[in-house]
Structure 1
Amino acid sequence: MEWRNIYRGFLMGISDLIPGVSGGTVAFVLGIYDRLLKAISGFFSLRWKQHIGFLLPLGIGIGAALLSLSKVIDYLLAHHFEPTQFFFMGLIIGVLPFIMKEADVKNSFASSHYIVMIVFALLLASMAFIKPSESADPITTLSVLTVIGLFFSGWLASMAMLLPGISGSFLLLLLGVYSTAINALSTLNLPIIAVIGGGVIVGFIVSSRGIQYLLTHFTNMTYAIIIGLILGSIVVIFPGVPTGSTMIISLIMLLLGLLVSSLFSMVSRT
């Protein structure tokens, strides 16, 4: 068992709680993105035993973060929104040099790759101007229609979780079920958690294989898309220019995020 994956999963779980921040980006920061894709797709095959040692501790960490910090993240976003967002901006900006080195951008990218990168960056950045249609009251009981809706919301969100730059939580906001998911985690509403979680699992199976195929057969173009998505996500989570003492705290958190990202990138290379 790779027990150090517990803390990695915990960090990924924290990011998946925050709209605009991608668990896939954190996996890149930690240097486990490729292994994550292979392990998820391989777990649902005849060779599943080879991947259980990697995935189980990771899942424990993610689950622990989701269950223990949903209220904390909700509080931070409600009362310390700008510093929290600036910390994750630093985390995301800090991973870009690592990813660009992994992609060997200077030697591998042609003009078409840069064009694709810019297009995807602009497409994701445009989501910053979309106002999520979040429903006022979270869903607490299930019907046939809500089961279908929540299941496919979880499916789509999990696909976003694996793509660096795209936030599963932000997608849940766009679909109007983010408050339902947070409320279910905070109150341990097991039926709601099970339905959304089932969609997440199915989405992981499908999307992990798809992304892995693209990275294998269209490596440079896939990296161009990933870098573009990460660049665009910075715009999505930018909370605006803070004022007063909040500006100082936000800048400190930005630098802290850059430092944490750099440290994790160095660790992943050793």
Structure 2
Amino acid sequence: MVKDVIMVSSKILEPLLIFLRGLFMGSADIIPGVSGGTIALITGIYERLVHAIGKLRFSFIKPLLKLDFSEFIRLCKEEIDYELFIPLLLGIAIAMLTLSKVIGFLLDYYPEFTFAFFLGLILASSYVLYTRVVHFSPKIIIISVIGFLLSFIFVGLNPIAANHSLPILFFSGMIAICAMILPGISGAFILLLLGQYHYMLNALNTFNIVEIVTFCAGALIGILGFSKVLDYLLQHHEEITLALLIGVMVGTLRIPFDQITANIGGSLFELLICAVLIILGFALIVLLEMKFKYIE
């Protein structure tokens, strides 16, 4: 009987924990400079997520068109990880819809403190990723340095001007989602570079269905293609991939650092608050990694 109770508790607890991961991922994906892929990685769900997405072949569409519902249901169960996708996507959606106003407010009125917290998050995330690379070698170090240089240069680019037509939003969704699934690369920052970040933030706040659906359609196409490549790399070249991601994550520290130095007043009190927020952000990630590491 005790065993049955434990099994029932586990079935209830696992979707809840996946839902919480979704909340954290959605919160991260809406922040420029922070990656939802990083949150997925440190909470122990990253490889399962990438594999689950890469496994989708949409072979269930053919029997659906033929009205063969039994075959449709069978293939859906075979291809789709419902236990992962339903609570995770629900958490991501709720976080993005509820936090878009909060993040917009903090970035507008307290950018130095907000980015100080982000800096701590990214720094801790790179440390967590570092602990997952088992063997360091000259090749691993070189790859990390290459990742750092590419990331450092890329995030230093100025945002480009772009219109907000539906094709552009579709294309932006394709590009941004590839970054969102990669630890260390911020999809929100990609949108910032494409000139779509504030526009899409406003679309979320006003619940503009047409623009949100167009963006999500582009994201769906992008993630289905890119996840297969990423799944292959993690399956066959895990340490090299992780080493590259470490360099990328460290390089993205340029974003919050530049924002802090550009907006901080220079008083000792403000510097102290920034230092405290960096420590809090670092501690939060380490705590999450400790709590979620072994929960699959």
**Structure 1 length-normalised TM:** 0.90
Match of 1:70 in 2: 100
Shift of 1:111: 0.9
- 1:117 pairs with 2:144: yes
Specify every segment of 5 or more residues in structure 2 that has no aligned partner in the other structure, as ranges. 1-13, 59-74
1:218, 1:40 → 2: CA distance?
19
Match of 2:213 in 1: 194
Cα deviation digits, residues 51-81 of structure 1 (max 9, x gap):
1111111111110111111111000001111
1:109, 1:215 → 2: CA distance?
17
- 1:230 pairs with 2:243: no
Shift of 1:39: 2.0
**Structure 2 length-normalised TM:** 0.82
Query: Of 80, 83, 104, which residue of structure 2 is paired with 1:53?
Result: 83
- 1:42 pairs with 2:72: no
Stretches (4+) displaced over 6 A: none
> Quick one: which amino acid aligns to residue 177 of structure 2?
S
Query: Of 190, 211, 216, which residue of structure 1 is paired with 2:230?
Result: 211
Could you say if the C-alpha distance between residues 211 and 223 of structure 1 is closer, same or farther in structure 2, counting changes exceeding 3 Å?
same
Specify every segment of 5 or more residues in structure 1 that has no aligned partner in the other structure, as ranges. 140-145
Match of 1:94 in 2: 124
Shift of 1:225: 1.0
- Worse-matched range after superposition: 236-245 or 30-39: 236-245
Query: Of 197, 210, 215, which residue of structure 2 is paired with 1:178?
Result: 197
2:256, 2:152 → 1: CA distance?
9
- 1:256 pairs with 2:280: yes
The sequence identity of aligned pairs, in percent, is: 36
Larger Rg over CA atoms? 2
2:213, 2:109 → 1: CA distance?
30
Could you say if the C-alpha distance between residues 44 and 6 of structure 1 is closer, same or farther in structure 2, counting changes exceeding 3 Å?
farther
Match of 2:112 in 1: 82
- Worse-matched range after superposition: 166-175 or 186-195: 166-175
Aligned length: 258
2:253 partner SS: helix
1:200, 1:72 → 2: CA distance?
23
1:192, 1:41 → 2: CA distance?
26
The answer to whether the 8 Å contact 1:29/1:95 transfers is yes
Shift of 1:179: 2.0
1:103 partner SS: coil
1:80, 1:240 → 2: CA distance?
10
The answer to whether the 8 Å contact 1:134/1:179 transfers is no
The answer to whether the 8 Å contact 1:159/1:203 transfers is yes
2:15 partner SS: coil
Shift of 1:262: 0.9
1:254, 1:220 → 2: CA distance?
28
Shift of 1:83: 1.4
